[in-house]
Chains A and B, each alone.
Chain A
Amino acid sequence: MSSLGPDTTAAAGPPSVPPAAAQVRVTRARRSTLAAAAAVVLIVAVLAYLPYLVYSGTTNLLVNFFTLLIMASMWNLLAGYAGLVSVGQQAFVGLGAYGVLLLASHGTSPFLAIPVATAACAVLGLPVWWLVSRLRSGYFAITMWVIASVCELIISQIPSFGGGTGTGLPGLPGNPTLLTADTYWATLACAVLALGVVYLLLRSRIGLVLTAVRDDETGARSVGVRVASTQRLVFLVAAAGCGVAGALYIVSQQFVEPTAAFSVLWSAKMIFITVIGGIGTIEGPIIGTIIYFVLQQTLAQYGTWYFIALGLVAMAIAIWARRGIWGLIADRFGIRLFGVGYWLSPAGPPDRDRGSR
């Protein structure tokens, strides 16, 4: 506690005379946000230029990175904001992948098939939501997993999709350099779009609603929040987001099989990344994906020990840093990269009061 000087007699009263409501104004962006916006533009520009600078090994790695980033951001939106913990998001990953396969086998360019398959996943999300919307917590999570498994079983019965053994994706360009670069750009564009959608969603009126639901669902209902319709919107956005990730997955692998496309490992990765990065923040999944890739690149050569290390990291974060790595950073330095909040000025303190920890 810092001393404010000799004038401590007025401790019981308000610290300063607040101005009247007419004298204040509400603003959105803050300085750290503007800096972050400039940084985002710069980073995206550099990333877009990357295929001219580095070998395909690096861009292929980044394709995986962006695909996981999209998935983790969507899972974060679902679980971190709408309170919908799902272990069945691989349903939409697989459906997105097979959507691209279906269109490409009928002559559509795989790259053009990506947005169509994404939209199809959002549409398919509606009946799925109708099924699972009545369920809560564990029941919701497990039912989503069941739905994913049912999708996998149905797809593996279809001979034209290669059945259970999988099939290659037709219609891709023959030039390997061009294919690598195109895949990379498509993935980068989708990742930027997906994160942009998440950011705009959270910055809109719905963002305030989602954050309120995240913090206290009963409280949210009591101030007139329509929790169910908000959850439905987020569910459909996450369905589309996981669908686009699946579409990018099949394009980058040029091959798909049901067990891999509908693997529960997708959800496990989404959960791991979101939890270590920081659930309920936009920045969390980004930090989480970076950490996940650093761990993967440095530890993958140790085989089983790599998975043990991943597990230990997740447990340590879950026990000692419930709000993830980004939670630690944000608390320590009082920063927020993506400004979705509101700011009252000049009544409030000039910045978040960093001293009171």
Chain B
Amino acid sequence: MPEPAGPDLLRLDGVCKSFGKVVVADRLSLTVGAGDLVGIVGPNGAGKSSLFGLIAGDLRPSAGQIVFAGRPVTRLDATARCRMGIGRTFQVPRPFGGMTVLENVLVAVQQGAGLRRRPSYAAAAAVLDRTGLLGDANIPAERLGLLSRKRLEVARALATGPDLLLLDEVAGGLTDPEVAELVTIVRGISAQGVAVVWIEHVLHALTATVHRLLCLAGGTFIGDGAPAEVLALPEVREVFLGTEVTASLHQAGPRLADGQDREDR
């Protein structure tokens, strides 16, 4: 396993979360160093987006602790965590449709990064420039195409001035040249020292970009290391060969029984 690039920025200790019988996080533990560039893969329903919800504060874990920048943030809400430096994108873009692209980014700069007036305008323009959205600045976000919507998700998260950026399938549904553009943007963000955790189904984009790859299945990590090594693991291969349904059933069975046991006691 490669050493983290810096001191721990984010640490998850035994984080648990389930929706009814569906376990999305089963004693998850994870550390991300400052400036790290980490990829996460896994089958649908593995708990990838829920993991981001737990880190960003949209979901409350039922057990475990989350530490960011040396401070426990488990009890803080999404607003507070954003202001501390956790930026996130949503798998299904959530633009402020009635606002222009510029206004979308501006509200993130002013609220997330705490800038005002002219400094906030300059910061917003700089973010739009970096994400290739300057030409669309005055267009209402609801009129954007898919690529621009994905870019706006990244731009808005970036505008909050994060130390940790959570990217949730920003390359999904895009053509190869568009994916290449996004990869360039993500590399640029990482090069400036922002730690990036990137969930992606478009594997070639991910493996070409990240230094470290995690595989999440059934709420637990089944692989963690260099991308090529992780993808060569038999457990990971099994998941990606399309046998994940049976595999996760086998895994989930005893765990579910276990969880119910604990509840009964």
The answer to the question of B108 belonging to the interface, with a C-beta cut-off of 8 Å to chain A, is yes
Q: For the complex, would chain B's binding face be called helix, strand, loop or mixed by DSSP majority?
A: helix
- Complex interface bits, B87-130 against A, C-beta within 8 A gives 1, otherwise 0: 01010001111111011101110111100100001101110110
Chain B residue at smallest Cβ distance from A352:
B138
Is B190 among interface residues, defined by CB-CB distance under 8 A?
A: no
Nearest chain B residue, comparing its CB with the CB of A221: B78
Interface size on B, residues (CB 8 A): 47
Interface pair B90/A222, CB less than 8 Å apart:
yes
* Most chain A C-beta atoms within 10 Å of own C-beta, residue among B95, B108, B116, B143: B108
Q: Distance in Å from the Cβ of B146 to the closest Cβ of chain A?
A: 14
Whole-angstrom CA separation of A18 from B113 in the bound complex:
25
Tell me if A214 is interfacial: C-beta within 8 Å of chain B.
yes
- Enumerate A213-250 residues with CB–CB distance to B below 8 Å: 214-216, 218-227
CA A109 to CA B135, docked complex, whole Å: 58
A280 at the interface (CB under 8 A from B): yes
Residue of A205, A224, A344 touching B137 (CB-CB under 8 A): A344
- The answer to whether A226 and B134 have CB atoms under 8 Å apart is no
Beta-carbon contact of B78 and A222 below 8 Å: yes
Q: Is B78 within 8 A of A212, CB to CB? A: no
Instruction: Say yes or no for B156: interface residue by CB 8 A criterion.
Output: yes
Q: Cβ of B132: which chain A residues have Cβ within 8 Å of it?
A: 14, 18
Q: How far is the CA of A220 from the CA of B160 in the complex (A)?
A: 11
A window 55-73: CB within 8 A of B: none
Give residues of chain B (145-159) contacting chain A, Cβ–Cβ below 8 Å.
156-157, 159
Question: Which residue on chain B has the smallest CB distance to residue A229?
Answer: B79
- List 24 interface pairs A-B (beta carbons < 8 Å), by A numbering: A14-B135, A18-B129, A20-B129, A21-B125, A24-B125, A24-B134, A208-B99, A208-B103, A208-B107, A211-B99, A211-B107, A212-B96, A215-B95, A219-B94, A221-B77, A222-B56, A223-B156, A224-B160, A225-B107, A342-B102, A343-B102, A343-B138, A344-B137, A348-B135
- Given A219-B90, A223-B160, list of 19 further CB < 8 A pairs? A12-B177, A24-B134, A26-B106, A205-B110, A205-B116, A212-B104, A212-B107, A215-B95, A215-B96, A215-B97, A216-B97, A222-B82, A223-B82, A223-B107, A223-B157, A341-B100, A348-B138, A348-B139, A352-B138
